[in-house]
Amino acid sequence: MSEPITTAVVRAAELTASGLPHRAIALLRPALAADPLHPEAWCGLAAAHLDAGEPDPALEAAKRALVLGGDRSWAQRLTALALSELGRHTEAAVAARECARRAPGDWRCLVVLAEVLASDPGGRREAVAVAREATRLAPEQARTFQVLGDAALRVRDWGTAEHAYRTALRLDPSAEDVRANLATVRRKRGAPAPTASPAAEALAAAHALVWPAFSRLAAVLVIGGPLLLLAGMPRPTPATGALSGALVLLCAVIVLRPAARGRAVRRALLHLPRHRPEVAVVATAFGLALLVLVGWTAALLLGASTVQPLVVAWLCALAGGTVVVLGRTG
């Protein structure tokens, strides 16, 4: 008796991500025999076949998913990748372009289009431009920068490739293939490939953890400030202080989550501001914002009715948030 197909799809995705695509295929085949009208299961099967290096059955499964509907964007991406693996580059480009046309805001479609174009010598320059657009849409995704680096590497644009690979490693320090490609780029440019020390690795991992936390903190503080101002009109009261206290607690949870990853990460987090100036600037701005916000909360609970400290806290948060946004897009 096969598992319920939705459970099988989730489990198959986990197996494929863990490098066990053949086990995912063995799981999905009987599930699809029992329920052949499940488009997500066909997509999962196509993804597993691609990961196993079997483009022919992957293309067949992706086409079945396209016919059945469901997430057509996923099915089209898989179709494009399978066609590319089969050397049918023109058809692959058509499928990838259709995916990008149907979902212009989906960075995954652009990533696949860039990969397909980069595999064809005539499309490699366009692949760089498409991958660059993917990084603009999803600057927090290491995969977009990896694909940009791969495309730039193929056209021998060493500067773009190195910058893209460095950004990808900042976002995902565990990507060894990216690290190897970065060493290749540096060798091509005539620069010695650096050997990262354990301390440098820990700092990179800490940076990859702290920057998303800064993004969340910026959103909470920049949006929360005006909301507190509205809640306290015409004059803030102790009830406003309670809301402010809840905001401070939420910020504390965001700040403390990266430190829960272990002693090595906590130690790296403490040293990070000395090695990454942008981290020091953002931490200072958000620290001042939270310090002022805590003082204002206490004052409100004791009966004060001023909003000036809230404005100061919000301006500090806005300054820190601006650095976060510039750090992600720069």
pLDDT at 121: 82
Average pLDDT, integer, range 281-299: 92
Per the domain annotation, does 180 fall within a domain? no
pLDDT of residue 200: 56
* pLDDT interval class at 89 (50, 70, 90): confident
Query: Are 94 and 203 found together in one domain?
Result: no
Question: Alpha-carbon distance 289 to 225, whole Å?
Answer: 10
Q: Where are the beta strands (DSSP E) in 78-206?
A: none
> Does any domain span residue 181?
no
Residue 150 pLDDT > 60, yes or no?
yes
> Can you tell me the mean pLDDT for 298-316?
90
| Same domain? 211 vs 320 | yes
Four-point Cα dihedral 80, 26, 40, 105, nearest 10: -40
Among 286, 171, 305, 303, CA closest to 232: 305
Whether residue 319 is contained in a domain is answered as: yes
Q: What is the pLDDT of residues 177-216, one digit of tens each?
A: 899 999 999 888 775 544 444 455 566 666 677 778 888 8
* Among 77, 103, 129, residue at a domain's last position: 103
pLDDT for 19 beyond 90: no
Q: Is there a domain that residue 223 lies in?
A: yes
Domain end marker among 103, 130, 153: 103
Does residue 258 belong to any structural domain of this protein? yes
What is the domain range of residue 77?
1-103
Residue 216 lies inside a defined structural domain of this protein: yes
User: What pTM value is reported for the model?
Assistant: 0.53
Asked if omega into 234 is within 30° of 0 (cis), the reply is: yes
Report the chain's mean pLDDT, rounded to a whole number.
85
The answer to the question of residue 42 being in a domain is yes
Domain count, the chain: 2
Q: Is 172 helix (H, G, I), strand (E, B) or coil?
A: coil
Question: Based on the domain organization, do 98 and 209 belong to the same domain?
Answer: no
Structure-token match 């409100």, residue found: 300
Q: What is the mean pLDDT of residues 14-40?
A: 90
Cα separation of 94 and 100, whole Å?
A: 10
Buried b (16+ CB within 10 A) or exposed e, 6-37: eebbebbbebbeeebbebbbebbeebbeeeee
> Is the pLDDT confidence value at 128 over 90?
yes
Taking only the tens place, the pLDDT of each residue in 214-267 is 888 889 999 998 999 888 888 888 999 899 999 999 999 988 877 666 665 667
Instruction: Indicate whether 321 and 203 sit together in one domain.
Output: yes
Q: Which CA distances in Å does 34 have to 2, 103, 240?
A: 8, 31, 57
Instruction: Write the DSSP symbol of residue 193.
Output: P
Whether 289 and 297 have beta carbons less than 8 Å apart is answered as no
Residue 203 shares a structural domain with residue 99: no
* Percent of the chain with pLDDT strictly greater than 90: 36
Residue 152, in any domain of the structure: no
pLDDT surpassing 90 at residue 288? yes
> In the structure, what pLDDT confidence band is assigned to residue 112 with cuts at 50, 70 and 90?
very high
User: Please, which residues have CB within 8 angstroms of residue 326's CB and are 6 or more apart in sequence?
Assistant: none
Q: At residue 70, does pLDDT exceed 90?
A: no
Q: How far apart are CA 125 and CA 313, in angstroms?
A: 46
What pLDDT score does 316 carry? 92
CATH (domain of 27) = 1.25.40.10
Which of the listed residues 103, 118, 138 is the one where a domain comes to its end?
A: 103
* Token pair of 112 as six digits: 């696949």
Helix (H) or strand (E) holding 30: helix 21-34
pLDDT category, 5, cuts 50, 70, 90? confident
